């Protein structure tokens, strides 16, 4: 299978982590967001929204939206699971992960930030306040629900860790203080000692060099 990715895309970063942890053979195809490759017809033919990631299966079928891709991988490659069998715990992990996927990440996406700057004339400081605001609000709710022993929900990596680590990467990249989020920071450090997370890091991507 082929994953259309961009090294700094946190939605693609989630899928890179899951592919690595589940030990699924795949090829990474870079789509350069800064050069607008995602808006060109070659790519919108794959993903009509012009967003990364997209996953092309070996038979040519395509799945867009990182959450749909992660659910597909979980269903088709259950040998190394990222969700527990217990339905309530699985729902708790999905609930927690959706705070990132639905309530933080979309508000801080590149196209939203560009709209603030280009259409609404928001200055750089206010744009950064916006960026930090939505992460702080989300992380405040997330922090209270975590076990951090050492991963989000225990001693096994789950989808919650897969969603969290790229979001923390973004927060640190934009100098958000993590002082109020000690559990989140400890989980970030624990996950990044694992090979699957390390290999998925933005700085370890081939397209990092062409940004
Ligand atoms: N909900 C989508 C979000 C995908 C998304 O926002 N991707 C970003 C990178 S993290 C993107 O392609 N942005 C391009 C843009 O904003 O112009 C998913 O989870 O796949």
The domain spanning residue 118 has which CATH number?
Answer: 1.20.1050.10
- Residue 10 contacts by C-beta under 8 Å, 6 or more apart in sequence? 105, 166, 167, 169, 170
Which residue has the least CA distance to atom 11 on ligand 1? 51
pLDDT surpassing 70 at residue 106: yes
Which residue, of 80, 109, 141, is where some domain finishes?
80
Percent of the chain, pLDDT > 90? 98
Q: Is the pLDDT of residue 125 over 90?
A: yes
pLDDT tens for each residue of 49-62 = 999 999 999 999 99
Q: 61 and 94 in one domain?
A: no
User: Residue 123 falls within a domain, yes or no?
Assistant: yes
| Same domain membership, residue 118 and residue 186 | yes
pLDDT tens across 54-101, in order? 999 999 999 999 999 999 999 999 999 999 999 999 999 999 999 999
Is the same domain home to 132 and 68? no
- DSSP characters for 181-208? -HHHHHHHHHHTTSHHHHHHSGGGSGGG
Ligand 1 atom nearest the C-alpha of 101 is 19
Spatial neighbors of 128 by CB under 8 A, at least 6 apart, are 174
* Residue 60 to residue 81: CA distance in whole angstroms: 25
**Is the entire prediction scored with pTM above 0.95?**
yes
Question: What pLDDT, on a 0 to 100 scale, did the predictor assign at position 205?
Answer: 97
8 domain-assigned: yes
In a shared domain, residues 136 and 43? no
The residue segments making up the domain with residue 13 are: 2-80
Per the domain annotation, does 140 fall within a domain?
A: yes
Are residues 53 and 35 both part of a single domain? yes
In a domain, 206, yes or no: no
CATH label of the domain that carries residue 6: 3.40.30.10
Neighbouring C-beta atoms of residue 81, cutoff 10 Å: 16
Q: How confident is residue 206, by pLDDT bands cut at 50, 70 and 90?
A: very high
Indicate the residue among 80, 109, 135 that finishes a domain: 80
pLDDT at 155: 97
From the list 17, 16, 52, 10, the residue with the least C-alpha distance to 166 is 10
Task: Indicate if 186 and 106 belong to the same structural domain.
Answer: yes
Question: What is the tally of structural domains in the chain?
Answer: 2
Examine the domain organization and report whether 96 and 182 are in the same domain: yes
- Ligand 1, residues 52, 114, 118: which to mutate, most atoms within 8 A of Cβ? 52
Please give the pLDDT value at position 210.
63
- Do residues 161 and 62 share a domain? no
59 and 43 within one domain: yes
The whole-angstrom separation of Cα 84 and Cα 16 is 20
pLDDT digits (tens, 9 = 90+) for 19-44: 999 999 999 999 999 999 999 999 99
Query: What pLDDT, on a 0 to 100 scale, did the predictor assign at position 211?
Result: 58
193 CA distance to ligand 1 centroid (A)? 26
Under DSSP, the state recorded for 37 is G
Predicted pLDDT of residue 209 = 76
User: Which residues are registered as beta bridge partners of 135?
Assistant: none
Indicate if 42 and 73 belong to the same structural domain. yes
For the Cβ of 110 lying below 6 angstroms from any atom of ligand 1, the answer is yes
Report the C-alpha gap between 116 and 123 in whole angstroms. Answer: 8
* Cis previous bond, 150, omega within 30: yes
User: What is the per-residue pLDDT for 115?
Assistant: 97
Q: Are residues 104 and 75 in the same domain?
A: no
Phi first, then psi: what are they for 169, rounded to 5°? -55, -45
Q: Is the model's pLDDT at 145 over the cut of 80?
A: yes
Ligand 1 atom 2 nearest Cα = 65
- Find out whether the beta carbon of 192 lies less than 6 Å from any atom of ligand 1: no
Question: Do 92 and 74 have their domain in common?
Answer: no
Does the pLDDT at position 138 exceed 80? yes
């Amino acid at each position: 299978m082929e994953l259309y990715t961009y090294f700094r895309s946190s939605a693609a970063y989630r899928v890179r982590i899951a592919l690595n942890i589940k030990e699924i053979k795949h090829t990474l195809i870079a789509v350069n967001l800064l050069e607008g490759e995602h808006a060109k017809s070659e790519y919108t033919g794959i993903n009509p929204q012009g967003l990364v990631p997209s996953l092309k299966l070996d038979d040519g079928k395509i799945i867009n939206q990182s959450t749909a891709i992660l659910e597909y991988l979980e269903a088709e490659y259950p040998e190394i699971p990222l969700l527990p069998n217990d339905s309530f715990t699985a729902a708790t992990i999905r609930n927690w992960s959706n705070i990132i996927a639905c309530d933080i990440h979309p508000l801080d996406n590149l196209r939203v930030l560009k709209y603030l700057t280009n259409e609404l004339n928001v200055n750089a400081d206010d744009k950064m306040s916006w960026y930090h605001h939505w992460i702080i609000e989300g992380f405040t709710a997330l922090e209270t629900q975590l076990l951090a022993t050492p991963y989000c929900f225990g001693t096994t990596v789950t989808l919650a860790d897969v969603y969290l680590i790229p979001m923390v990467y973004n927060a640190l990249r934009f100098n958000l203080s993590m002082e109020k989020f000690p559990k989140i920071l400890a989980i970030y450090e624990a996950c990044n000692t694992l090979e699957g997370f390390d290999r998925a890091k933005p700085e370890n991507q081939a397209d990092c060099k062409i940004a």
